[in-house]
Chains A and B, each alone.
Chain A
């Protein structure tokens, strides 16, 4: 496949590009969904093609063909350059790329149990079984599913990079819904979307879906009659690690994407409240806050060997001791921002999409507390976990998130269950109020398989190492 990618690059250069790269990709997926004891959907997908990126002046031109032949690849390379050239009608300053030594190498994710070696009947039995268990324990609607993505890609650049990767991603999810007279309540396990990683079927076995099915169904039923989360202008808020994964993704990960900061996403995904002039000096959160973007974490969903412009995966400090110190970047955005090296955060969701800045594994480094010590140290507060809704403004500053379940905390003890818990805050104030942080034993690499960004929209797979945390003086219980 290297020859196919090289043919595309050669064609783009011949057509006038001053830099070009190409990815040949083959993607194979499997998705099964069971509902109320029946396998309702089983879907296999294959995608294969080549996508070429050509740089002329101030614009990338990109062209993709659903074909992996050399003739089609040459056509794609030629077209990519033609598309880039048309951009000169509305031109800006030339795009530059920060230097990166051309990579030559291979990388594969670590898979202990090949997900393709597990029979569909076994997978179906697992999903059907847990939905039946949820129904037996109070769920009106019980759903479970698994997904496998198996990606092979070959990358060639006009600077001499030649990289191939084989990335397997596997995961599963289940949720129970109880339907009441006026509203519905749901509980998901292990989170709203489940859990995914660059791993094999061993991840699904470790989740122990059967061992948690009855519990979440009972909780969903109990939520229908639980007390409503009180509306309070300020209280102590403890978030479980799954909700922390979402919190990091939305209010830190997207905010530090350099393309957003530079305005490249202004019309659609939005911009960022962060100003590059404050990089290195802006206080993002409390001194407990240390965030990295690290694509080298074993098994996390945002891990890889090389990004989609050939930069080797490497950890990048984003927030250190509460100060904003880094961004998610690629070679073009880093050059424009005066950053020395690409953060290696450029990815595309398929052969037919242009690579762009995406989160890798953006997460918190653990602290020294624990969920139980946070509860014990809280006199009056609320514990919330498992994301249910998420909304944040186009500068990634003002957010309102809802969780599936909450518990009142009084006198250092977990009390009554609360339904419809929500909280709202402004990002730096929120992170600045964080005063307790879970420890390494509670550190979990949450996987988000549905991060939307870009035009045409791309669905990214991102990882979020997270631990439980406590925040002081937070507004909760916002109602419609």
Chain B
């Protein structure tokens, strides 16, 4: 029988109190199942599942702080060893002058991103979704994965904060291939019933067929229409290196609060309460999630914070603490990019001469301050002329400042349609397609 995570969390807090009466402690316990059915060469080749049992404990005794984590059995002996180890580590550490203390008692928003069918999904359920994707490709080679995740989580701390939550995510992400082209399709939702393998596989196959026989295009600056996977990639770098309260405090961030740093068409928020997103409603420090507007009509309005970065900045946590957050800082789990007013197809119609890009690949930041990133296109690129898709292009390398690409006056259109795209640090973000005026392509597939 799966242990109750709240009972496990309470047991750990009680153990800390028994062994170090004055110590502070916070613990997150996550139980659940994660399963992923992977296919390549149009058949399922790796099919995996696991029962998860994850504990993250942080203790602080007179300002001496240490973490301990556990993936394994949660019997009393193991938990006692976990607590003893954390306290022992803390006692030999120097005092942490920036320890912010544990979170106060506060209720979480009554929102739940949960679906019973996803929680109970079987390997057969996932295989059926994969079969539909493969069939929709109608003979093209396919590859990808269908996954289902069910998480039941509990938080407790020595200040009396106790929270429980649960979430499910189902996703399908795959490609179809010809001899000289790939096309991708993807969809994510709390509900496995929303995964339409035929629709997603058909989209991937259409892209693969439409991008056959690509030709070279000279590198240079072009208008681009970026589909949602690319836009999510923009957000990754903006948030990890920019809106992160840690990088702001260190002076490494581009963020200047109150300034018009983005095009007025852009509004971004971190919002786990949005009905269209997924995930839990509290962070690893037990701070309840709430809507935080980060960019409003192009004006940078907030940085994101953990309890540590918030204390240093003289503000409150925005519930953006993640595991390893003391290293990375404050990271959002649910960025919502405000929808625009154009249909996806109309974005292409607005391009004089430019490129339609399906996916970005292997992007790496060259400098966090300027947000210059290099990477490549993948899974379909087309030349657009006079508002019409003309021909497929071989993949291109770019070296581009992400913040310049979204600067005031740089955005020509944002789609109404949005997609949930998984990002780093277990985040999943709701993003549209984006038409921007200039993108710096610095090389072709041949160099």
Seen from chain A, the residues whose Cβ lies within 8 Å of a Cβ on chain B are: 33, 38-49, 51, 58-69, 79, 82-87, 89-92, 95, 119-121, 124, 128, 140-141, 177, 179-180, 182-184, 262-268, 270, 350, 352-354, 356, 388-394, 397-398, 400, 402, 420, 422, 424-426, 429, 455-456, 475, 478-480
Contacts and interface: CB of A to CB of B under 8 A. Distances in A.
Interface string B145-173: 10100000000000000000000000001
Contacts of A400: 374, 397, 399, 442-443
Interface stretch (B112-120, B227-235, B363-371): B363-371
A271 B232 CA distance: 23
A331 to B, nearest CB: 14
A120 B92 CA distance: 6
A121 B92 contact: yes
A179 B252 contact: yes
Nearest to A185: B367
Contact of B397 (A84, A91, A424): A424
B175 interface: yes
A42 B66 contact: yes
Nearest to B395: A393
12 contacts: A60-B47, A63-B50, A86-B126, A89-B44, A90-B44, A90-B131, A179-B252, A183-B367, A266-B182, A388-B366, A420-B366, A455-B145
Contacts of B35: 83
Interface residues of B, number: 96
B366 A92 contact: no
Contacts of A389: 364-366, 374
Interface in B7-44: 34-44
Contacts, number: 282
A390 B326 CA distance: 25
Contact of B71 (A43, A47, A63, A394): A47
A79 B47 CA distance: 11
A263 B89 CA distance: 46
A140 B250 CA distance: 8
A263 B44 contact: no
Contacts of A354: 46, 48
B174 A87 contact: no
Given A62-B47, A91-B43, 15 more contacts: A41-B327, A42-B90, A45-B70, A61-B123, A64-B48, A66-B73, A89-B44, A184-B252, A263-B40, A263-B41, A263-B143, A267-B173, A389-B365, A422-B366, A456-B147
B295 interface: no
A128 B92 CA distance: 14
Tell me the interface secondary structure of chain A in the complex. mixed
Contact of A391 (B38, B124, B363): B363
A77 B120 CA distance: 20
Interface stretch (B94-102, B270-278, B339-347, B350-358): B94-102
Interface of B: 34-54, 65-73, 78, 81-82, 85-86, 89-90, 92-94, 96-98, 122-124, 126-128, 130-131, 134, 141, 143-145, 147, 173-175, 177, 182, 184, 250-252, 324, 326-327, 361-370, 372-376, 378, 395, 397, 399-401, 440, 442-443, 445-447
Given A92-B41, A429-B447, A120 B47 contact: no
Contacts of B440: 480
A398 to B, nearest CB: 6
Contacts of A420: 366-367
Contacts of A429: 447
Nearest to B68: A44
B47 A87 contact: yes
A68 B72 contact: yes
Given A47-B70, A402-B366, A86 B48 contact: no
Contact of B143 (A65, A128, A266, A390): A266
Contact of A124 (B65, B94, B141, B372): B94
Nearest to A26: B72
A91 B44 contact: yes
B44 A87 contact: yes
Nearest to A49: B72
Contacts of B94: 38-39, 124, 128
A62 to B, nearest CB: 4
Given A120-B93, A480-B401, A43 B68 contact: yes
A89 B370 contact: no
A262 B141 CA distance: 12
B381 to A, nearest CB: 12
A394 B397 CA distance: 12
Contacts of A63: 48-50
A455 B49 CA distance: 11
A120 B365 contact: no
A59 B47 contact: yes
Contacts of A388: 366
Contact of B45 (A83, A92, A179): A92
A183 B370 contact: yes
B86 A44 contact: yes
Contacts of A424: 397, 442-443, 447
A135 to B, nearest CB: 13
B67 A46 contact: no
Nearest to A250: B362
A29 to B, nearest CB: 8
Contacts of A475: 447
Contact of B66 (A33, A44, A89): A44
